[in-house]
Amino acid sequence: MRPTELLADWQAWGLAAEPEIVEQFTAGQNHQTLLIKSADEFWVLKQFAHSFNVAVSAQHWAAKLGLAPEIHFAKDNLAVMAYQESITFSDQHIALLGQALRTLHTTPASASFARFDLLDFCQQYLSSLEGSLGEQAAAIHADLLPALDFFTQDPTPWCVCHNDLVTSNCLLELDRVWFIDWEYAMLHNPWFDLASIVLYFGLDAEQSSRLLKHYHPDWEAKQSTPIFNAAQIALLWGDLTWHLSKYGDDYLAANPTRFAQLADLNARFKSLAT
């Protein structure tokens, strides 16, 4: 559907005036998301390609916890919510991110959530790869299996996780962080969300230590354990298999540093696990 066609039913959304499109966001790869303006108010309009009910239910729950913006309107794969501009990431956000994740992971869910199957997720995308790319990806996957198995068998209790905490899904304010785009919210190992913050925000060892400390005082020392690296491997490989399935050889050729980072994480995992 063309962007302008999404505005056809605007009168049902409870806006003050007919909206106009300001910008089409391109950070998301699956859904169509617009910044719109109605009178003097800015809103985000999102058309979901999948997981509408999961995303809306999870965001309603997260909003009550102060972890997500309220949804103003949601129906027929469309959602409207107030726009909140994100400021530049700084050191002060490490504590806020750790505390927000702690709230997310320790609050009982208000509805049922599916369980996230990491290996099935990877295999779905690997099975779509053909030829030499498929062979290369299969070889990488085989080398990563000890770390992936370690992550999937880790005894840390599962909880509701966001599972897609790329930087564009973390709205940063001076004294608060919000998480958006909840369509992958499922029960999972909390290390997956923590690994997202470490990897996507590029935290160094000292910053990662502070993130874990603010998440839970007893977790600061876990940075030197295998699960810290195994979780990052699980996250990064899931991310890379998705991109390989979507962009093929071009992505592999254009992103050598991401695959080098994966190899480095795997080497560190092996040294800790032996």
Write the DSSP symbol of residue 76.
T
Token readout for 183 is 């369509």
pLDDT of 29: 61
pLDDT of residue 127: 96
Q: Give the Cα separation of 67 and 101 in Å (integer).
A: 9
- Nearest 5 degrees, angle CA 31-CA 239-CA 230? 145
Place of tokens 């690994």: 195
By CB atoms closer than 10 A (0-12, 13-18, 19+), residue 185 is buried
**Binned average pLDDT, 10 residues per bin, the chain of 274 residues:** 89 96 80 94 95 95 96 97 95 97 94 92 96 97 98 97 97 96 97 98 97 96 97 98 96 97 98 91
Give the integer Cα–Cα distance in Å for 33 and 52.
13
Q: What is the pLDDT of residue 26?
A: 77
Contact 244, 125 (CB under 8 A): yes
pLDDT at 34: 95
pLDDT at site 161: 98
Strands 78-82 and 41-47 come out as antiparallel
pLDDT of residue 28: 57
Q: What domains sit in the chain, N to C, each tagged with a CATH number?
A: 3-82 (3.30.200), 92-273 (3.90.1200.10)
Please say whether the beta carbons of 241 and 136 come within 8 A: no
Q: Is the dihedral of CA 138, 142, 143, 144 positive or negative?
A: positive
Q: What is the rounded CA–CA span in Å between residue 25 and residue 32?
A: 8
Q: What separation in angstroms does the CA of 218 have from each of 158, 191, 209, 221?
A: 17, 14, 11, 7
Residues linked to residue 38 through DSSP beta bridges, in sequence order = 41
Residues ≥6 apart with Cβ < 8 Å to 117:
none
